[in-house]
Structure 1
Amino acid sequence: MSARGTSLTVREATEADYAEIARITWAAYLGAGYFADAGHPYMRQIADVGYRAARGTVLVAERGGRIVGSVTLMAHGDGFEQVAREGEYEFRLLVVDPAVQRSGAGSALVAEVEARARRAGAAAVVLTTGEGWEAPNALYPRLGYARAPELDWPIPGTDIMLPVYRKTL
């Protein structure tokens, strides 16, 4: 069955989805080479989907009854945002199962984030990505996001700067 041949649904995650979201997050980050192994402290942190869900809204993309992607969104002031300012929404940890990447799931999740932000009256959506992360850094401009280097921020204790993108709604 083609990944594009089955309709895609985006919905809020339930606790029953957390293990699959964590698996997809690990597969996406490790498969892209962002981290060497699942034991990295950041990898352990992002696998805690319950932590994310308690501080934001975790969405999943489902195709044929199978979760194929996820994203976490929050408004400024929710406590899990990193760069959102007053009147902005932010999303983090946009991941698509490597087996079905480039099938529209990531774009559908971003579209739902933007729709929720608009309904809430947000002026913009922002996100942080990794420097040199080719797929995300190609996707976001295609979806209308522009680099916002004035919002880039360092990973504490390192010389790594994380790029920020912003889209005015």
Structure 2
Amino acid sequence: MSDIYRLATLEDAERVLHITYEAYVTIRELGLTWPAAHADLALIQDNITHNKCYVLEQDGLIVATVTLADPERVKELTAETGLPFIMWFAVDPNVQGTGAGSKLLNWVEQHIIRDEVGAPAVTLGTAEKHPWLLPMYERRGYESIRARDAGKGEGPMHLMRKVVHPERFEAYLQERKQAEQIQQTSSQGN
């Protein structure tokens, strides 16, 4: 089996839509209003055009997708951490359980987030209400760093983080601590 990791193109939009729609059945059944769960072709095309939508192709067929969000498009999620945010992770139900999704996430976490972007960690969001997403991400090394209930009947949504470069992460924590101390000092002086 040949695996190819690459950015999606607009020519891939219909296949990415199919995978996303089929993979997000449980999310729709739970009444979660995630854009990916209710995406149409235009929204998938917008995602491919304005974010970095990665796919895993096995033997010429796209079987999984995940998106690295443009930080400007998800400022409310990235402002707090300053870390990259991934979203719209979906695996074709016909290959779920084969490791295809893990392969794509590992590749994006290591080759894109750690090596290309140079970030110490990556973030994503998920719902506590979903029966298996939170535990799945925890098994993959993600930890919940914040949970908020927006009061829309969806329950708590978790912002999760995974360290992909421990040494850089230690430096990141030190920088954040110093920035907080500077901010506290300047607010006390006013």
Structure with bigger helix share is 2
Q: Distance between the aligned counterparts of 1:54 and 1:8, measured in 2? A: 23
* Residue in structure 1 matched with residue 94 of structure 2 by the alignment: 99
Q: 1:35 aligned to 2:31?
A: no
Q: Between Structure 1 and Structure 2, whose CA radius of gyration is higher?
A: 2
TM superposition shift of 1:9: 2.1
Residue 27 of structure 1 aligns to which amino acid in structure 2? E
Q: Distance between the aligned counterparts of 2:45 and 2:138, measured in 1? A: 30
Moved over 3 A (4+): 40-47, 153-159
Q: Distance between the aligned counterparts of 2:49 and 2:84, measured in 1? A: 16
> Taking structure 1 as reference, are residues 108 and 78 closer, same or farther at Cα in structure 2, changes over 3 Å only?
farther
* Superposition RMSD in Å: 2.5
Question: How is 1:16-165 mapped onto 2 (pairs within 5 angstroms)?
Answer: 16-30=11-25, 33-36=26-29, 42=35, 43-45=37-39, 48-74=43-69, 77-80=71-74, 83-85=77-79, 87-115=82-110, 116-119=112-115, 120-148=117-145, 150=146, 152-155=147-150, 157-158=152-153, 160-165=155-160
* Residue in structure 1 matched with residue 2 of structure 2 by the alignment: 7
Q: Distance between the aligned counterparts of 2:157 and 2:34, measured in 1? A: 17
**Identical-pair percentage:** 28
Task: Specify the SS of the correspondent of 1:89.
Answer: coil
The runs of 5 or more residues in structure 1 that have no matched partner are 1-5
Corresponding pairs, count: 157
TM-score using structure 2 length: 0.71
Please give the per-residue CA displacement for 1:85-136, whole angstroms capped at 9, x wherever unaligned.
4541111011001111011121122112212111212121000112232342
Q: Distance between the aligned counterparts of 1:21 and 1:162, measured in 2? A: 25
The runs of 5 or more residues in structure 2 that have no matched partner are 165-190
